[in-house]
Amino acid sequence: MAKTVLMVGWHPSVVDYSKYPGFSEEKLEIALRADETKLNDQGYDASIGFIFSGETATDQLAATLKATAYDVVLIGAGVRKDDDYFLVFEKLLNVVHEFAPQARIAFNTGPTDSDEAVRRWA
Protein backbone atom coordinates (compact mmCIF):
# COMPACT_ATOMS: atom_id res chain seq x y z
CA MET A 1 0.00 0.00 0.00
CA ALA A 2 1.33 3.45 -0.92
CA LYS A 3 2.50 5.70 1.88
CA THR A 4 0.33 8.77 2.19
CA VAL A 5 1.97 12.18 2.07
CA LEU A 6 0.47 15.59 2.79
CA MET A 7 2.40 18.60 1.55
CA VAL A 8 1.34 21.68 3.56
CA GLY A 9 2.08 25.17 2.30
CA TRP A 10 0.73 28.52 1.27
CA HIS A 11 -1.59 28.66 -1.67
CA PRO A 12 0.28 30.46 -4.47
CA SER A 13 -2.37 33.18 -4.52
CA VAL A 14 -1.48 34.40 -1.00
CA VAL A 15 2.33 34.45 -1.21
CA ASP A 16 4.23 37.76 -1.00
CA TYR A 17 6.48 37.37 -4.03
CA SER A 18 8.57 40.40 -3.14
CA LYS A 19 10.30 38.01 -0.72
CA TYR A 20 11.02 35.49 -3.48
CA PRO A 21 12.57 37.19 -6.53
CA GLY A 22 12.06 35.19 -9.69
CA PHE A 23 8.94 33.44 -8.44
CA SER A 24 5.38 34.22 -9.36
CA GLU A 25 2.04 32.65 -8.56
CA GLU A 26 2.17 30.64 -11.78
CA LYS A 27 5.77 29.47 -11.29
CA LEU A 28 5.12 28.42 -7.70
CA GLU A 29 1.96 26.50 -8.65
CA ILE A 30 3.85 24.68 -11.41
CA ALA A 31 6.75 23.80 -9.07
CA LEU A 32 4.47 22.54 -6.31
CA ARG A 33 2.35 20.46 -8.67
CA ALA A 34 5.51 19.02 -10.22
CA ASP A 35 6.71 17.95 -6.76
CA GLU A 36 3.32 16.36 -6.06
CA THR A 37 3.44 14.52 -9.39
CA LYS A 38 7.02 13.39 -8.77
CA LEU A 39 6.03 11.88 -5.43
CA ASN A 40 3.01 10.13 -6.94
CA ASP A 41 5.18 8.80 -9.78
CA GLN A 42 7.55 7.40 -7.14
CA GLY A 43 4.71 5.37 -5.64
CA TYR A 44 3.48 7.65 -2.87
CA ASP A 45 -0.09 8.80 -2.45
CA ALA A 46 0.73 12.51 -2.22
CA SER A 47 -1.54 15.52 -2.06
CA ILE A 48 -1.18 19.21 -1.33
CA GLY A 49 -2.97 20.84 1.57
CA PHE A 50 -2.88 24.52 0.77
CA ILE A 51 -3.32 27.02 3.56
CA PHE A 52 -4.72 30.46 2.88
CA SER A 53 -4.11 32.54 6.02
CA GLY A 54 -2.48 32.32 9.40
CA GLU A 55 -5.88 32.65 11.02
CA THR A 56 -7.35 29.60 9.28
CA ALA A 57 -4.24 27.44 8.75
CA THR A 58 -4.57 25.33 11.87
CA ASP A 59 -8.28 24.63 11.33
CA GLN A 60 -7.63 23.70 7.69
CA LEU A 61 -4.82 21.33 8.62
CA ALA A 62 -6.75 19.77 11.51
CA ALA A 63 -9.72 19.05 9.24
CA THR A 64 -7.45 17.47 6.63
CA LEU A 65 -5.67 15.29 9.20
CA LYS A 66 -8.98 14.17 10.71
CA ALA A 67 -10.22 13.06 7.29
CA THR A 68 -7.16 11.05 6.22
CA ALA A 69 -4.34 9.26 8.01
CA TYR A 70 -0.97 10.38 6.65
CA ASP A 71 2.38 8.64 6.94
CA VAL A 72 4.34 11.83 6.27
CA VAL A 73 3.36 15.48 6.68
CA LEU A 74 5.68 17.90 4.94
CA ILE A 75 5.55 21.55 5.97
CA GLY A 76 6.89 23.74 3.21
CA ALA A 77 9.78 26.16 3.42
CA GLY A 78 7.49 29.11 2.68
CA VAL A 79 5.91 28.60 6.09
CA ARG A 80 8.93 27.31 7.96
CA LYS A 81 11.66 29.67 6.78
CA ASP A 82 9.75 32.96 6.78
CA ASP A 83 10.09 34.70 10.15
CA ASP A 84 6.76 36.44 9.59
CA TYR A 85 5.09 33.02 9.86
CA PHE A 86 7.03 31.56 12.77
CA LEU A 87 3.92 31.29 14.95
CA VAL A 88 1.92 29.74 12.11
CA PHE A 89 4.69 27.16 11.69
CA GLU A 90 4.73 26.42 15.41
CA LYS A 91 0.95 26.01 15.49
CA LEU A 92 0.99 23.72 12.45
CA LEU A 93 3.56 21.47 14.11
CA ASN A 94 1.33 21.15 17.15
CA VAL A 95 -1.69 20.33 14.99
CA VAL A 96 0.28 17.53 13.32
CA HIS A 97 1.38 16.29 16.72
CA GLU A 98 -2.22 16.28 17.96
CA PHE A 99 -4.09 14.89 14.94
CA ALA A 100 -1.43 12.75 13.25
CA PRO A 101 0.93 11.55 16.00
CA GLN A 102 1.89 8.55 13.86
CA ALA A 103 3.08 10.72 10.97
CA ARG A 104 6.67 11.56 10.30
CA ILE A 105 7.29 15.27 9.79
CA ALA A 106 9.45 16.44 6.90
CA PHE A 107 10.72 19.79 5.68
CA ASN A 108 11.74 20.78 2.20
CA THR A 109 14.09 23.64 1.36
CA GLY A 110 11.90 24.98 -1.46
CA PRO A 111 9.16 24.03 -3.89
CA THR A 112 11.29 21.59 -5.88
CA ASP A 113 12.77 19.11 -3.39
CA SER A 114 9.80 17.73 -1.49
CA ASP A 115 10.50 14.24 -2.77
CA GLU A 116 13.95 14.26 -1.14
CA ALA A 117 12.45 15.37 2.18
CA VAL A 118 9.73 12.71 2.04
CA ARG A 119 12.20 9.94 1.16
CA ARG A 120 14.23 10.80 4.28
CA TRP A 121 11.25 9.85 6.46
CA ALA A 122 8.94 7.56 4.48
CATH 3.40.50 given to domain 4-121: yes
User: Do the Cβ atoms of 108 and 117 come closer than 8 Å?
Assistant: yes
Residues 11-23: tens digit of each pLDDT: 999 999 999 999 9
For the segment 62-97, what is each residue's pLDDT rounded down to a tens digit? 999 999 999 999 999 999 999 999 999 999 999 999
pLDDT of residue 1: 87
Cβ contact 92:9 at 8 Å:
no
Q: How far is CA 8 from CA 1, 12, 119, in A?
A: 22, 12, 16
